[in-house]
Amino acid sequence: MNRNQKHMTCRVCLCNEAVEVLDLGSTPLANELVDNIPCEAQTYPLSIEWCPQCLNIQLSYCVSSQDLYKNYFYVTPKSASLQNHYSQLLRFLQENRYLNKDTHLLEIGSNSGELLQFFQRSVASVLGVDPAENIAEIANARGIRTEADFFNASSAKSLSKKVGPQDLIIARHCFAHNENPGEMVEGVCEILSDNGYFVIENAYAVDTVEQNEFDQVYHEHMYYYSLHSLQALLERYEFALVDAMTSHIHGGSFVAVAKRISGREICKSNTLQRLLERERHVLNLKGVMGFSDRSLGIIKGLHEVITEISSQGKVIYSYGATAKGNTLLNVCGLDCNQIKYCVDSTDIKQGKFLPGSGIEIISEEFCYENPPDYFLLTAWNYSEEIIKKFTEQSSAPVTFIVPFPEIRYIRKNYNS
């Protein structure tokens, strides 16, 4: 790789020192499943840049929101580990007094309302905002009030007129979904109560880099935040980080708590200070270039392994019609010639095809009846849960291929 590259603008801190770290070619939109094959899914460049000033990692090329969400299939899965995460998150917010029974809670990117349903009993009111109309409908149908809209200054202003100020605004895994990273914060400024908290949960760049998770790179993820970069962004809007926790969810995430900078000095929790200190040791030039090299190694390795297994006549399915799985398959050059089906529990995904690779999505029930020899775990963030479920439902010998942090194999139901 040419490491004497030109410098680009960091869209978070606005310096002109960002450098490209990984070019993954050109791929289709990862959440846009297709109805028929052969499909001519449109592809868009996929590469990332790193900023040495604020430790931000960002996509070099951003697709418009209109294109990204016109045909959207992400539905929060029913998952025991997700429920467990919600309960840890609630405890963190309650114990540190960011949330109580009087809190009016607003969730940005609330999807089908899973989190709000979980939090409902512990707060005064819940309200969701989500741009995907089909998904907001699902939430409203289950009794979680959800506005189908993008969250920005103008939608927040009109929402504020209707429902009044909100005491806690939470954005889980959607803060990085906007090319203009300040747009959501501008909305928060319009509707957050004076002493309210803004809570952001996002995949953590430290984990992405340390665990070689290049599949987290897709067009929806326009930023790979560190706490440094989040802090740099929020300061532009007179917000400051006060606390953070980390979690294993989605391959390693942070939950950051921010509040308005008032006259008083802002106090950072010990955990936040420790995490900020550690980031400097991971997200430096050597760290991000190491990530790039290791990612290229996994891409080559996985292509070779799957091609070899398939040439032996073994049947391979991928498990999880995930957005990150689509990056993985397309970047590794894998398709329906090597991988027969993709298993996924989400009703609305079944019967459709993965973009680019053209692999058909089937139900878990079909897969228990017709098990393959190998699974490529494209929902590796739920691997424990998925492997447990499969072995409870099927006695067929099968090998799970886990791509991260390096390619490894988990054999189940083999007697010898």
Q: Name the residues that contact ligand TYD, by CB under 6 A.
A: 74, 77, 79, 320-324, 344-346, 379, 381-382, 385-386, 389
Query: Shortest gap between Cβ of 391 and ligand TYD (angstroms)?
Result: 12
The nearer residue to Zn ion, 58 or 112, going by C-beta atoms, is 58
Q: 56 is in the binding site of which of ligand TYD, Zn ion, none (Cβ under 5 to 8 A by kind)?
A: Zn ion
Q: 174 is in the binding site of which of ligand TYD, Zn ion, none (Cβ under 5 to 8 A by kind)?
A: none
The nearer residue to ligand TYD, 23 or 385, going by C-beta atoms, is 385
Q: Is 292 exposed, middle or buried (0-12, 13-18, 19+ CB in 10 A)?
A: buried
In the chain, how long is the greatest CA-to-CA distance?
A: 69
Query: Shortest gap between Cβ of 84 and ligand TYD (angstroms)?
Result: 12
Query: Shortest gap between Cβ of 13 and Zn ion (angstroms)?
Result: 3
Q: 322 is in the binding site of which of ligand TYD, Zn ion, none (Cβ under 5 to 8 A by kind)?
A: ligand TYD
Q: What angle do CA 185, 177, 257 make, to 5 degrees?
A: 45
Q: 352 is in the binding site of which of Zn ion, ligand TYD, none (Cβ under 5 to 8 A by kind)?
A: none
* Chain centre to alpha carbon of residue 348: 19
**Are residues 30 and 378 in contact, defined by beta-carbon separation less than 8 angstroms?**
no
Encoded tokens for 41: 């899914």
**Are residues 285 and 21 in contact, defined by beta-carbon separation less than 8 angstroms?**
no
Query: Shortest gap between Cβ of 323 and ligand TYD (angstroms)?
Result: 3
Q: 77 is in the binding site of which of Zn ion, ligand TYD, none (Cβ under 5 to 8 A by kind)?
A: ligand TYD
The nearer residue to ligand TYD, 168 or 323, going by C-beta atoms, is 323
Q: 53 is in the binding site of which of ligand TYD, Zn ion, none (Cβ under 5 to 8 A by kind)?
A: Zn ion
166-172 sheet: strands from edge to edge: 146-148, 125-130, 104-108, 166-172, 192-203, 253-260, 239-247
Dihedral sign, Cα of residue 96, residue 98, residue 103, residue 105: negative
SS3 state of residue 160: helix
**Are residues 56 and 13 in contact, defined by beta-carbon separation less than 8 angstroms?**
yes
The nearer residue to ligand TYD, 219 or 259, going by C-beta atoms, is 219
Residues that bind Zn ion (CB under 5 A): 10, 12-13, 51, 53-54, 56
* Cis upstream peptide for 371 (omega within 30°): no
The nearer residue to Zn ion, 13 or 139, going by C-beta atoms, is 13
The nearer residue to ligand TYD, 11 or 177, going by C-beta atoms, is 177
Count of residues in the chain: 416
Alpha-carbon span 414 to 167, nearest angstrom: 53
The nearer residue to ligand TYD, 82 or 241, going by C-beta atoms, is 82
Q: 252 is in the binding site of which of Zn ion, ligand TYD, none (Cβ under 5 to 8 A by kind)?
A: none
Encoded tokens for 227: 């706490």
